[in-house]
Chains A and B, each alone.
Chain A
Amino acid sequence: MNTLPPDSSRPGEVDDPRSRPDFRPEHYPLANGHGAPPVGAMERNDRITLEFLAVYYDLNCDYAQLLEVRQRPPSPERVGAERTCLQTIEKGLIARDRLEDHYASLGVLTDPIAREGFTRDLKIHFGNVDAAGRRRRDYYTLTAYVPIPLPEGASLKHVPMKIEGPGFDGEY
Protein backbone atom coordinates (compact mmCIF):
# COMPACT_ATOMS: atom_id res chain seq x y z
CA MET A 1 0.00 0.00 0.00
CA ASN A 2 1.29 3.41 -0.94
CA THR A 3 2.37 5.42 2.08
CA LEU A 4 3.79 8.85 2.43
CA PRO A 5 6.99 9.42 4.36
CA PRO A 6 6.26 9.96 8.06
CA ASP A 7 4.58 13.28 8.32
CA SER A 8 7.17 15.64 9.66
CA SER A 9 4.72 18.50 9.61
CA ARG A 10 3.29 17.53 12.97
CA PRO A 11 4.27 20.06 15.63
CA GLY A 12 7.14 18.97 17.78
CA GLU A 13 8.36 16.21 15.46
CA VAL A 14 11.62 17.98 14.60
CA ASP A 15 14.14 18.06 17.42
CA ASP A 16 15.27 21.59 16.63
CA PRO A 17 18.64 22.21 18.31
CA ARG A 18 17.84 25.89 18.53
CA SER A 19 15.40 24.98 21.30
CA ARG A 20 18.04 23.25 23.35
CA PRO A 21 19.54 25.07 26.33
CA ASP A 22 23.10 24.29 25.20
CA PHE A 23 22.54 25.48 21.62
CA ARG A 24 25.73 26.72 19.93
CA PRO A 25 24.68 28.98 17.06
CA GLU A 26 28.13 28.93 15.45
CA HIS A 27 27.56 25.28 14.54
CA TYR A 28 24.09 25.71 13.05
CA PRO A 29 24.38 25.83 9.25
CA LEU A 30 22.65 28.13 6.85
CA ALA A 31 20.05 26.76 4.46
CA ASN A 32 20.62 27.69 0.80
CA GLY A 33 22.70 30.61 1.94
CA HIS A 34 20.02 32.02 4.18
CA GLY A 35 18.86 31.59 7.74
CA ALA A 36 16.94 28.46 8.62
CA PRO A 37 13.15 28.31 8.69
CA PRO A 38 11.73 29.35 12.05
CA VAL A 39 11.43 26.88 14.91
CA GLY A 40 8.19 24.97 14.55
CA ALA A 41 7.78 25.74 10.86
CA MET A 42 4.85 23.77 9.50
CA GLU A 43 5.39 23.73 5.73
CA ARG A 44 6.70 20.35 4.58
CA ASN A 45 9.84 21.52 2.85
CA ASP A 46 10.72 23.75 5.79
CA ARG A 47 10.40 20.85 8.19
CA ILE A 48 12.54 18.63 5.98
CA THR A 49 15.11 21.42 5.92
CA LEU A 50 15.02 21.63 9.71
CA GLU A 51 15.54 17.88 10.01
CA PHE A 52 18.65 18.02 7.86
CA LEU A 53 19.98 21.12 9.60
CA ALA A 54 19.55 19.41 12.97
CA VAL A 55 21.58 16.43 11.79
CA TYR A 56 24.35 18.62 10.41
CA TYR A 57 24.34 20.72 13.58
CA ASP A 58 24.91 17.59 15.64
CA LEU A 59 27.69 16.53 13.28
CA ASN A 60 29.35 19.92 13.64
CA CYS A 61 29.17 19.68 17.44
CA ASP A 62 30.55 16.13 17.38
CA TYR A 63 33.37 17.21 15.11
CA ALA A 64 34.18 20.12 17.40
CA GLN A 65 34.39 17.64 20.24
CA LEU A 66 36.75 15.46 18.20
CA LEU A 67 39.02 18.40 17.51
CA GLU A 68 39.05 19.27 21.18
CA VAL A 69 40.02 15.69 22.06
CA ARG A 70 42.83 15.75 19.51
CA GLN A 71 44.29 18.79 21.25
CA ARG A 72 44.93 16.72 24.37
CA PRO A 73 48.36 15.21 25.06
CA PRO A 74 48.82 11.69 23.63
CA SER A 75 47.64 9.06 26.04
CA PRO A 76 45.58 5.86 26.07
CA GLU A 77 42.71 7.90 27.41
CA ARG A 78 42.92 10.25 24.45
CA VAL A 79 42.88 7.32 22.03
CA GLY A 80 39.77 6.00 23.72
CA ALA A 81 38.11 9.41 23.67
CA GLU A 82 39.00 9.89 20.02
CA ARG A 83 37.54 6.48 19.17
CA THR A 84 34.33 7.40 20.97
CA CYS A 85 34.13 10.72 19.10
CA LEU A 86 34.66 9.00 15.76
CA GLN A 87 31.96 6.47 16.55
CA THR A 88 29.58 9.28 17.46
CA ILE A 89 30.36 11.05 14.20
CA GLU A 90 29.83 7.84 12.28
CA LYS A 91 26.42 7.45 13.90
CA GLY A 92 25.62 11.01 12.89
CA LEU A 93 26.62 10.30 9.32
CA ILE A 94 24.44 7.21 9.34
CA ALA A 95 21.55 9.35 10.61
CA ARG A 96 22.25 11.82 7.81
CA ASP A 97 22.28 9.03 5.23
CA ARG A 98 19.03 7.61 6.56
CA LEU A 99 17.42 11.02 6.21
CA GLU A 100 18.58 11.20 2.59
CA ASP A 101 17.19 7.74 1.93
CA HIS A 102 13.91 8.64 3.59
CA TYR A 103 13.28 11.69 1.41
CA ALA A 104 14.83 10.43 -1.83
CA SER A 105 11.40 9.59 -3.24
CA LEU A 106 10.44 13.26 -2.87
CA GLY A 107 13.40 14.32 -4.99
CA VAL A 108 15.23 15.90 -2.08
CA LEU A 109 18.90 16.57 -2.84
CA THR A 110 21.31 17.97 -0.28
CA ASP A 111 24.81 19.32 -0.77
CA PRO A 112 26.70 20.38 2.34
CA ILE A 113 29.12 23.28 1.93
CA ALA A 114 31.87 22.56 4.41
CA ARG A 115 34.84 24.54 5.57
CA GLU A 116 37.54 22.82 7.62
CA GLY A 117 35.22 19.94 8.35
CA PHE A 118 32.27 22.01 9.55
CA THR A 119 29.13 22.26 7.44
CA ARG A 120 28.48 25.98 7.13
CA ASP A 121 25.69 25.92 4.58
CA LEU A 122 23.36 23.27 3.28
CA LYS A 123 22.16 23.47 -0.29
CA ILE A 124 18.87 21.64 -0.38
CA HIS A 125 16.65 21.09 -3.41
CA PHE A 126 13.13 19.72 -3.47
CA GLY A 127 11.35 17.87 -6.22
CA ASN A 128 8.14 19.85 -5.93
CA VAL A 129 9.51 23.37 -6.33
CA ASP A 130 11.87 25.05 -8.76
CA ALA A 131 14.99 26.99 -7.90
CA ALA A 132 12.90 30.03 -7.10
CA GLY A 133 10.77 28.08 -4.65
CA ARG A 134 7.67 28.03 -6.84
CA ARG A 135 5.66 24.85 -7.11
CA ARG A 136 6.59 23.33 -10.45
CA ARG A 137 3.05 22.95 -11.70
CA ASP A 138 1.58 26.18 -10.43
CA TYR A 139 0.55 28.70 -13.04
CA TYR A 140 2.17 32.08 -12.83
CA THR A 141 2.23 35.20 -14.94
CA LEU A 142 5.21 36.36 -16.89
CA THR A 143 5.48 39.91 -18.13
CA ALA A 144 7.95 40.97 -20.75
CA TYR A 145 8.71 44.39 -22.16
CA VAL A 146 9.81 44.13 -25.76
CA PRO A 147 10.70 47.47 -27.35
CA ILE A 148 10.34 47.51 -31.12
CA PRO A 149 11.89 50.64 -32.59
CA LEU A 150 9.94 52.25 -35.41
CA PRO A 151 11.54 53.78 -38.48
CA GLU A 152 12.45 57.39 -38.01
CA GLY A 153 9.47 59.63 -38.56
CA ALA A 154 6.94 56.80 -38.39
CA SER A 155 4.22 56.48 -35.79
CA LEU A 156 2.22 53.48 -34.70
CA LYS A 157 -0.81 54.46 -36.74
CA HIS A 158 1.29 54.17 -39.87
CA VAL A 159 2.35 50.60 -39.04
CA PRO A 160 0.21 48.01 -40.88
CA MET A 161 -0.31 45.64 -37.98
CA LYS A 162 -3.00 44.73 -35.56
CA ILE A 163 -2.31 44.85 -31.86
CA GLU A 164 -4.40 42.60 -29.65
CA GLY A 165 -4.30 41.37 -26.13
CA PRO A 166 -5.66 41.74 -22.61
CA GLY A 167 -5.40 45.25 -21.34
CA PHE A 168 -5.32 46.80 -24.78
CA ASP A 169 -8.43 48.67 -25.91
CA GLY A 170 -7.45 49.21 -29.51
CA GLU A 171 -6.25 52.75 -28.98
CA TYR A 172 -2.62 53.58 -29.36
Chain B
Amino acid sequence: MGLARAALRCVMQKLILISHLSPGDLVMLTAAVRDLHRCYPGRFLTDVRTGSPELWIHNPHLVPLEVDDPAVRLLPCHYPLIRLSNERPVHFLHGFIDYLNQALDLRIRLTRLAGDIHLSEAEKSLPSVVEQKTGLNLPYWIIVGGGKLDLTIKWWHFRRWQAVVDQFRGRILFAQVGEKHHYHPPLDGVLDLRGQTPMRELIRLVYHAQGVVCPVTALMHLAAAVEVPPGRAPDRPCVVVAGGREPATWEAYPSHRFLHTIGQFPCCANGGCWRSRTVPLGDGDDKDEPGALCVDVVNQLPRCMDSITPGMVAGQIEHCIRDLGLDLLAPDQARAVTPWLHRGTQAALRALMCGYFSAPSAGSEDEPAGVESNNQPQRTTVWATMTSS
Protein backbone atom coordinates (compact mmCIF):
# COMPACT_ATOMS: atom_id res chain seq x y z
CA MET B 1 0.00 0.00 0.00
CA GLY B 2 2.89 2.30 0.87
CA LEU B 3 4.47 1.67 -2.51
CA ALA B 4 1.18 2.36 -4.28
CA ARG B 5 0.77 5.60 -2.40
CA ALA B 6 4.30 6.61 -3.21
CA ALA B 7 3.70 5.77 -6.85
CA LEU B 8 0.52 7.82 -6.83
CA ARG B 9 2.37 10.79 -5.37
CA CYS B 10 4.83 10.58 -8.21
CA VAL B 11 2.07 11.17 -10.76
CA MET B 12 0.22 13.81 -8.76
CA GLN B 13 1.04 17.24 -10.02
CA LYS B 14 2.98 19.31 -7.52
CA LEU B 15 2.07 22.96 -7.23
CA ILE B 16 3.38 25.78 -5.13
CA LEU B 17 0.94 28.67 -5.31
CA ILE B 18 2.58 32.03 -4.79
CA SER B 19 0.96 35.31 -3.76
CA HIS B 20 2.04 38.23 -1.67
CA LEU B 21 -1.23 40.06 -1.72
CA SER B 22 -3.04 41.26 1.37
CA PRO B 23 -4.66 38.91 3.90
CA GLY B 24 -8.16 39.47 2.53
CA ASP B 25 -7.02 38.39 -0.94
CA LEU B 26 -5.31 35.36 0.53
CA VAL B 27 -8.52 34.21 2.20
CA MET B 28 -9.87 33.94 -1.36
CA LEU B 29 -6.90 31.79 -2.31
CA THR B 30 -7.75 29.37 0.52
CA ALA B 31 -11.08 28.79 -1.19
CA ALA B 32 -9.34 28.09 -4.50
CA VAL B 33 -7.04 25.52 -2.88
CA ARG B 34 -9.98 23.86 -1.15
CA ASP B 35 -12.01 23.59 -4.29
CA LEU B 36 -9.07 22.47 -6.42
CA HIS B 37 -8.86 19.41 -4.20
CA ARG B 38 -12.61 18.95 -3.91
CA CYS B 39 -13.05 19.00 -7.67
CA TYR B 40 -9.89 17.08 -8.51
CA PRO B 41 -9.22 14.76 -5.57
CA GLY B 42 -5.91 13.01 -5.69
CA ARG B 43 -4.68 14.96 -8.71
CA PHE B 44 -2.55 17.57 -6.99
CA LEU B 45 -0.14 18.12 -4.16
CA THR B 46 -0.23 21.77 -3.13
CA ASP B 47 1.83 24.09 -1.05
CA VAL B 48 1.85 27.88 -0.84
CA ARG B 49 4.28 30.73 -0.49
CA THR B 50 2.28 33.74 0.64
CA GLY B 51 2.26 36.62 3.04
CA SER B 52 0.33 35.93 6.25
CA PRO B 53 1.38 32.25 6.38
CA GLU B 54 -0.68 31.93 9.58
CA LEU B 55 -3.78 31.78 7.39
CA TRP B 56 -2.69 28.33 6.22
CA ILE B 57 -1.97 26.71 9.58
CA HIS B 58 -3.92 23.45 10.01
CA ASN B 59 -4.98 23.60 6.38
CA PRO B 60 -5.52 19.97 5.34
CA HIS B 61 -4.88 20.62 1.67
CA LEU B 62 -1.21 21.58 1.95
CA VAL B 63 1.86 19.37 1.97
CA PRO B 64 5.43 20.58 2.29
CA LEU B 65 6.97 21.04 -1.14
CA GLU B 66 10.38 22.42 -1.98
CA VAL B 67 10.80 25.34 -4.33
CA ASP B 68 13.87 23.82 -5.93
CA ASP B 69 12.21 20.44 -6.59
CA PRO B 70 12.27 20.18 -10.39
CA ALA B 71 8.92 18.38 -10.29
CA VAL B 72 7.23 21.31 -8.58
CA ARG B 73 5.47 23.92 -10.66
CA LEU B 74 5.69 27.39 -9.16
CA LEU B 75 2.52 29.30 -9.94
CA PRO B 76 2.24 33.01 -9.07
CA CYS B 77 -1.48 33.58 -8.56
CA HIS B 78 -3.61 36.53 -9.63
CA TYR B 79 -7.28 37.25 -10.19
CA PRO B 80 -7.77 39.00 -13.54
CA LEU B 81 -11.45 38.16 -13.26
CA ILE B 82 -11.77 41.34 -11.21
CA ARG B 83 -11.75 43.28 -14.50
CA LEU B 84 -15.14 41.76 -15.27
CA SER B 85 -16.61 42.33 -11.82
CA ASN B 86 -18.88 45.14 -13.03
CA GLU B 87 -20.11 43.08 -15.96
CA ARG B 88 -20.60 39.59 -14.61
CA PRO B 89 -22.21 38.32 -11.40
CA VAL B 90 -18.98 36.80 -10.10
CA HIS B 91 -17.72 36.84 -6.55
CA PHE B 92 -14.19 37.56 -5.37
CA LEU B 93 -14.04 33.87 -4.39
CA HIS B 94 -14.18 33.02 -8.08
CA GLY B 95 -11.09 35.14 -8.76
CA PHE B 96 -8.28 32.69 -8.04
CA ILE B 97 -10.42 29.74 -9.10
CA ASP B 98 -10.86 31.29 -12.51
CA TYR B 99 -7.12 31.91 -12.72
CA LEU B 100 -6.24 28.32 -11.79
CA ASN B 101 -8.72 27.06 -14.37
CA GLN B 102 -6.98 29.12 -17.02
CA ALA B 103 -3.46 28.25 -15.89
CA LEU B 104 -4.03 24.54 -15.36
CA ASP B 105 -6.77 23.94 -17.95
CA LEU B 106 -9.21 22.78 -15.30
CA ARG B 107 -12.88 23.29 -14.40
CA ILE B 108 -12.75 23.99 -10.69
CA ARG B 109 -16.10 25.08 -9.26
CA LEU B 110 -16.67 27.10 -6.13
CA THR B 111 -18.20 24.70 -3.62
CA ARG B 112 -18.81 27.06 -0.70
CA LEU B 113 -19.26 30.82 -0.70
CA ALA B 114 -16.52 31.43 1.86
CA GLY B 115 -12.81 31.02 2.35
CA ASP B 116 -11.24 28.03 4.05
CA ILE B 117 -9.62 28.85 7.40
CA HIS B 118 -9.00 26.07 9.90
CA LEU B 119 -8.51 26.06 13.65
CA SER B 120 -7.30 23.10 15.66
CA GLU B 121 -9.39 21.70 18.49
CA ALA B 122 -6.76 23.00 20.89
CA GLU B 123 -7.12 26.51 19.49
CA LYS B 124 -10.89 26.38 19.69
CA SER B 125 -10.76 25.24 23.29
CA LEU B 126 -8.61 28.20 24.35
CA PRO B 127 -10.34 31.14 25.99
CA SER B 128 -11.08 33.99 23.64
CA VAL B 129 -8.54 36.76 23.32
CA VAL B 130 -11.05 38.98 25.13
CA GLU B 131 -11.23 36.57 28.04
CA GLN B 132 -7.46 36.20 28.09
CA LYS B 133 -7.11 39.95 28.33
CA THR B 134 -9.89 40.77 30.79
CA GLY B 135 -10.39 37.50 32.66
CA LEU B 136 -14.08 37.78 31.73
CA ASN B 137 -15.97 35.41 29.46
CA LEU B 138 -18.08 37.94 27.57
CA PRO B 139 -19.90 38.08 24.28
CA TYR B 140 -18.36 40.64 21.93
CA TRP B 141 -18.34 42.05 18.45
CA ILE B 142 -15.24 42.96 16.49
CA ILE B 143 -15.07 46.48 15.09
CA VAL B 144 -12.65 47.90 12.54
CA GLY B 145 -12.67 51.69 12.65
CA GLY B 146 -10.11 52.49 9.98
CA GLY B 147 -8.15 50.82 7.25
CA LYS B 148 -5.02 50.52 5.17
CA LEU B 149 -3.26 53.58 3.88
CA ASP B 150 -3.24 52.57 0.23
CA LEU B 151 -7.04 52.56 -0.14
CA THR B 152 -8.26 55.47 1.95
CA ILE B 153 -11.47 55.63 -0.08
CA LYS B 154 -12.69 52.67 1.99
CA TRP B 155 -12.48 54.64 5.23
CA TRP B 156 -15.64 55.65 7.04
CA HIS B 157 -15.29 58.59 9.41
CA PHE B 158 -14.06 57.57 12.86
CA ARG B 159 -16.79 59.63 14.57
CA ARG B 160 -19.38 57.55 12.79
CA TRP B 161 -17.80 54.35 14.07
CA GLN B 162 -17.77 56.00 17.48
CA ALA B 163 -21.47 56.81 17.19
CA VAL B 164 -22.16 53.12 16.49
CA VAL B 165 -20.18 52.11 19.58
CA ASP B 166 -21.99 54.71 21.67
CA GLN B 167 -25.36 53.44 20.47
CA PHE B 168 -24.67 50.05 22.05
CA ARG B 169 -22.85 51.22 25.16
CA GLY B 170 -23.53 48.79 27.99
CA ARG B 171 -25.14 46.25 25.63
CA ILE B 172 -22.37 45.21 23.24
CA LEU B 173 -18.69 44.90 23.97
CA PHE B 174 -16.75 45.96 20.90
CA ALA B 175 -13.18 44.77 20.46
CA GLN B 176 -11.35 47.17 18.15
CA VAL B 177 -8.67 45.64 15.95
CA GLY B 178 -6.33 46.99 13.33
CA GLU B 179 -2.71 46.80 12.30
CA LYS B 180 -0.37 49.15 14.08
CA HIS B 181 0.99 50.82 10.96
CA HIS B 182 -2.39 51.39 9.36
CA TYR B 183 -4.95 54.10 10.10
CA HIS B 184 -7.08 53.07 13.04
CA PRO B 185 -8.17 55.98 15.23
CA PRO B 186 -8.79 54.87 18.79
CA LEU B 187 -12.46 54.51 19.69
CA ASP B 188 -13.77 55.29 23.16
CA GLY B 189 -15.56 52.65 25.15
CA VAL B 190 -14.13 49.65 23.32
CA LEU B 191 -11.66 46.96 24.21
CA ASP B 192 -8.60 48.23 22.41
CA LEU B 193 -6.82 45.37 20.66
CA ARG B 194 -5.25 47.47 17.92
CA GLY B 195 -1.81 46.13 17.11
CA GLN B 196 -2.27 43.27 19.60
CA THR B 197 -3.68 40.51 17.44
CA PRO B 198 -1.23 38.61 15.26
CA MET B 199 -3.07 36.76 12.51
CA ARG B 200 -3.59 33.54 14.40
CA GLU B 201 -4.99 35.37 17.41
CA LEU B 202 -7.16 37.43 15.09
CA ILE B 203 -8.60 34.26 13.63
CA ARG B 204 -9.33 32.99 17.12
CA LEU B 205 -10.86 36.34 18.01
CA VAL B 206 -13.16 36.01 15.01
CA TYR B 207 -14.03 32.44 15.98
CA HIS B 208 -15.47 33.51 19.32
CA ALA B 209 -17.02 36.79 18.12
CA GLN B 210 -20.78 37.28 18.08
CA GLY B 211 -20.36 39.43 14.99
CA VAL B 212 -18.14 41.77 13.02
CA VAL B 213 -18.71 45.35 11.88
CA CYS B 214 -16.16 46.74 9.47
CA PRO B 215 -15.47 48.32 6.10
CA VAL B 216 -14.52 46.16 3.10
CA THR B 217 -11.48 44.52 4.61
CA ALA B 218 -9.98 41.16 5.56
CA LEU B 219 -12.20 40.96 8.63
CA MET B 220 -15.33 40.52 6.53
CA HIS B 221 -13.72 37.64 4.63
CA LEU B 222 -12.54 36.08 7.87
CA ALA B 223 -16.00 36.50 9.35
CA ALA B 224 -17.33 34.28 6.57
CA ALA B 225 -14.40 31.87 6.38
CA VAL B 226 -13.80 31.05 10.04
CA GLU B 227 -16.09 28.39 11.40
CA VAL B 228 -18.69 29.20 14.06
CA PRO B 229 -18.63 27.61 17.54
CA PRO B 230 -21.16 24.84 18.17
CA GLY B 231 -24.60 25.95 19.20
CA ARG B 232 -24.63 29.17 17.21
CA ALA B 233 -26.23 30.15 13.93
CA PRO B 234 -24.20 28.70 11.04
CA ASP B 235 -23.22 32.09 9.61
CA ARG B 236 -21.46 34.71 11.65
CA PRO B 237 -23.18 38.12 11.35
CA CYS B 238 -21.18 40.83 9.69
CA VAL B 239 -22.21 44.40 8.93
CA VAL B 240 -20.06 45.93 6.21
CA VAL B 241 -19.84 49.64 5.45
CA ALA B 242 -19.09 49.32 1.76
CA GLY B 243 -20.24 52.36 -0.20
CA GLY B 244 -19.78 52.32 -3.94
CA ARG B 245 -16.24 51.17 -4.53
CA GLU B 246 -16.75 47.46 -5.03
CA PRO B 247 -19.67 45.75 -6.77
CA ALA B 248 -21.85 44.04 -4.20
CA THR B 249 -21.89 40.88 -6.27
CA TRP B 250 -18.10 40.72 -6.13
CA GLU B 251 -17.65 41.40 -2.45
CA ALA B 252 -20.72 40.58 -0.38
CA TYR B 253 -21.52 37.31 1.33
CA PRO B 254 -25.16 36.22 1.41
CA SER B 255 -25.42 36.28 5.20
CA HIS B 256 -23.71 39.66 5.59
CA ARG B 257 -25.45 43.04 5.89
CA PHE B 258 -23.53 44.73 3.09
CA LEU B 259 -24.28 48.46 3.05
CA HIS B 260 -23.53 49.49 -0.51
CA THR B 261 -24.64 52.35 -2.73
CA ILE B 262 -24.20 50.77 -6.15
CA GLY B 263 -26.62 52.45 -8.53
CA GLN B 264 -27.36 55.40 -6.24
CA PHE B 265 -24.80 57.89 -7.51
CA PRO B 266 -23.49 58.66 -11.00
CA CYS B 267 -19.98 57.50 -10.13
CA CYS B 268 -21.17 54.04 -9.14
CA ALA B 269 -24.24 53.87 -11.33
CA ASN B 270 -23.02 50.87 -13.31
CA GLY B 271 -20.97 49.09 -10.72
CA GLY B 272 -18.11 49.69 -8.34
CA CYS B 273 -15.97 52.73 -9.02
CA TRP B 274 -12.77 50.92 -7.95
CA ARG B 275 -11.13 54.23 -7.08
CA SER B 276 -8.41 54.18 -4.44
CA ARG B 277 -8.25 57.36 -2.40
CA THR B 278 -10.53 60.09 -1.16
CA VAL B 279 -7.88 62.81 -1.41
CA PRO B 280 -4.20 62.58 -2.33
CA LEU B 281 -2.17 61.33 0.58
CA GLY B 282 1.13 62.72 -0.69
CA ASP B 283 3.14 59.56 -0.04
CA GLY B 284 4.47 59.06 -3.54
CA ASP B 285 2.02 56.28 -4.36
CA ASP B 286 0.47 56.32 -7.81
CA LYS B 287 -2.90 56.01 -6.08
CA ASP B 288 -2.65 59.78 -5.68
CA GLU B 289 -3.07 60.13 -9.44
CA PRO B 290 -6.33 61.83 -10.49
CA GLY B 291 -7.65 58.65 -12.08
CA ALA B 292 -7.51 56.88 -8.72
CA LEU B 293 -9.16 59.61 -6.66
CA CYS B 294 -12.77 59.84 -5.59
CA VAL B 295 -14.75 62.14 -7.88
CA ASP B 296 -17.39 63.20 -5.35
CA VAL B 297 -16.08 64.08 -1.90
CA VAL B 298 -18.47 65.39 0.76
CA ASN B 299 -17.53 66.13 4.37
CA GLN B 300 -14.07 64.70 3.67
CA LEU B 301 -15.69 61.40 2.71
CA PRO B 302 -16.70 59.87 -0.61
CA ARG B 303 -20.35 60.74 -1.09
CA CYS B 304 -21.26 57.07 -1.04
CA MET B 305 -19.66 56.61 2.38
CA ASP B 306 -21.09 59.92 3.59
CA SER B 307 -24.56 58.66 2.74
CA ILE B 308 -24.18 55.76 5.16
CA THR B 309 -25.17 56.94 8.62
CA PRO B 310 -24.38 55.45 12.01
CA GLY B 311 -28.09 54.83 12.39
CA MET B 312 -28.07 52.58 9.35
CA VAL B 313 -25.17 50.55 10.69
CA ALA B 314 -26.62 50.36 14.19
CA GLY B 315 -29.95 49.33 12.72
CA GLN B 316 -28.38 46.39 10.93
CA ILE B 317 -26.62 45.32 14.11
CA GLU B 318 -29.96 45.48 15.92
CA HIS B 319 -31.50 43.30 13.21
CA CYS B 320 -28.72 40.74 13.65
CA ILE B 321 -29.24 40.69 17.41
CA ARG B 322 -32.97 40.31 17.12
CA ASP B 323 -33.12 37.90 14.21
CA LEU B 324 -30.39 35.60 15.49
CA GLY B 325 -31.02 35.98 19.20
CA LEU B 326 -27.45 37.03 19.85
CA ASP B 327 -26.11 37.41 23.35
CA LEU B 328 -25.80 40.89 24.79
CA LEU B 329 -23.94 42.03 27.85
CA ALA B 330 -25.77 41.58 31.12
CA PRO B 331 -25.65 44.67 33.36
CA ASP B 332 -23.14 43.08 35.71
CA GLN B 333 -20.98 42.09 32.74
CA ALA B 334 -21.11 45.64 31.39
CA ARG B 335 -19.98 46.96 34.77
CA ALA B 336 -17.24 44.36 35.09
CA VAL B 337 -15.69 45.15 31.72
CA THR B 338 -15.81 48.95 32.09
CA PRO B 339 -12.32 49.27 33.62
CA TRP B 340 -10.92 47.54 30.52
CA LEU B 341 -12.50 49.85 28.02
CA HIS B 342 -10.42 52.36 26.19
CA ARG B 343 -10.91 55.94 27.19
CA GLY B 344 -9.24 58.09 24.62
CA THR B 345 -6.95 60.88 25.61
CA GLN B 346 -9.27 63.31 23.85
CA ALA B 347 -12.18 62.34 26.07
CA ALA B 348 -9.95 62.30 29.12
CA LEU B 349 -8.69 65.77 28.32
CA ARG B 350 -12.24 67.05 27.93
CA ALA B 351 -13.21 65.47 31.25
CA LEU B 352 -10.21 66.90 33.02
CA MET B 353 -10.68 70.39 31.67
CA CYS B 354 -14.42 70.60 31.85
CA GLY B 355 -15.24 68.08 34.54
CA TYR B 356 -17.55 65.98 32.36
CA PHE B 357 -17.53 63.42 29.61
CA SER B 358 -18.84 63.86 26.09
CA ALA B 359 -21.54 61.69 24.49
CA PRO B 360 -23.26 60.65 27.71
CA SER B 361 -25.95 58.00 27.42
CA ALA B 362 -29.05 57.76 29.55
CA GLY B 363 -28.33 56.05 32.82
CA SER B 364 -24.62 56.10 32.18
CA GLU B 365 -22.23 56.60 35.02
CA ASP B 366 -20.56 59.17 32.82
CA GLU B 367 -23.33 61.73 33.12
CA PRO B 368 -22.11 65.30 33.35
CA ALA B 369 -21.36 66.29 36.90
CA GLY B 370 -21.39 69.76 38.29
CA VAL B 371 -21.46 71.65 35.01
CA GLU B 372 -24.70 73.32 34.14
CA SER B 373 -23.73 75.17 31.01
CA ASN B 374 -23.39 73.77 27.50
CA ASN B 375 -24.29 70.16 28.21
CA GLN B 376 -24.63 69.36 24.55
CA PRO B 377 -22.46 66.34 23.87
CA GLN B 378 -19.51 67.47 21.85
CA ARG B 379 -19.68 64.70 19.27
CA THR B 380 -23.38 65.24 18.70
CA THR B 381 -22.67 68.87 17.90
CA VAL B 382 -19.96 67.94 15.44
CA TRP B 383 -22.10 65.18 13.94
CA ALA B 384 -24.90 67.65 13.32
CA THR B 385 -22.41 69.84 11.52
CA MET B 386 -21.25 66.97 9.37
CA THR B 387 -24.74 65.98 8.26
CA SER B 388 -26.07 69.46 7.67
CA SER B 389 -24.96 69.59 4.01
- Interface set of A (CB-CB < 8 Å, partner B): 1-5, 44, 59, 63, 66, 83, 86-87, 89-90, 93-94, 96-98, 101-102, 104-107, 109, 111-114, 116-117, 119, 127-131, 135-138
Contact = CB atoms under 8 A, between A and B. Distances in A.
B248 interface: no
B368 to A, nearest CB: 11
B228 interface: no
Given A86-B374, A107-B149, A136 B295 contact: no
A156 B294 CA distance: 57
Interface string B337-348: 000000001101
Nearest to A116: B352
Interface string B341-379: 000011011101110000000000000000111100011
Contacts of A83: 372-373
B292 to A, nearest CB: 10
B382 A106 contact: no
Interface stretch (B98-106, B277-285, B313-321): B277-285
B285 A136 contact: yes
A101 B301 CA distance: 10
Interface stretch (B66-74, B150-158, B216-224): B150-158
A98 B382 contact: yes
A90 B354 CA distance: 8
Given A2-B295, A127-B281, A117 B382 contact: no
A112 B345 contact: yes
B193 interface: no
B382 A89 contact: no
A109 B149 contact: no
B183 A102 contact: no
B90 interface: no
A102 B350 contact: no
Given A86-B371, A98-B385, A106-B279, 14 more contacts: A1-B297, A4-B279, A59-B353, A66-B353, A83-B372, A89-B353, A90-B374, A90-B378, A94-B381, A107-B152, A112-B349, A117-B352, A135-B283, A136-B285
B346 A112 contact: yes
B26 interface: no
B196 interface: no
Chain A contact surface mostly = mixed
Contacts of A137: 283-285
Interface in B131-151: 149
B382 A94 contact: yes
A136 B283 contact: yes
B279 A2 contact: yes
Contact of A87 (B300, B346, B373, B385): B373
Contact of B345 (A111, A117, A128, A129): A111
A171 B156 CA distance: 58
A5 B300 contact: yes
B378 to A, nearest CB: 6
A15 to B, nearest CB: 21
B246 to A, nearest CB: 19
B383 to A, nearest CB: 10
B293 interface: yes
A87 B378 CA distance: 12
B152 A105 contact: yes
A105 B278 contact: yes
B282 A5 contact: no
Contacts of B169: none
Nearest to B386: A101
A98 B299 CA distance: 11
B5 interface: no
A128 B277 CA distance: 12
A172 B2 CA distance: 51
B181 interface: yes
A131 B278 CA distance: 22
22 contacts: A1-B297, A2-B294, A2-B296, A3-B297, A5-B300, A83-B372, A90-B378, A93-B378, A94-B378, A96-B346, A98-B382, A104-B158, A105-B301, A107-B149, A109-B185, A111-B186, A112-B346, A117-B349, A127-B149, A128-B284, A131-B181, A136-B149
Given A105-B300, A109-B183, A135 B353 contact: no
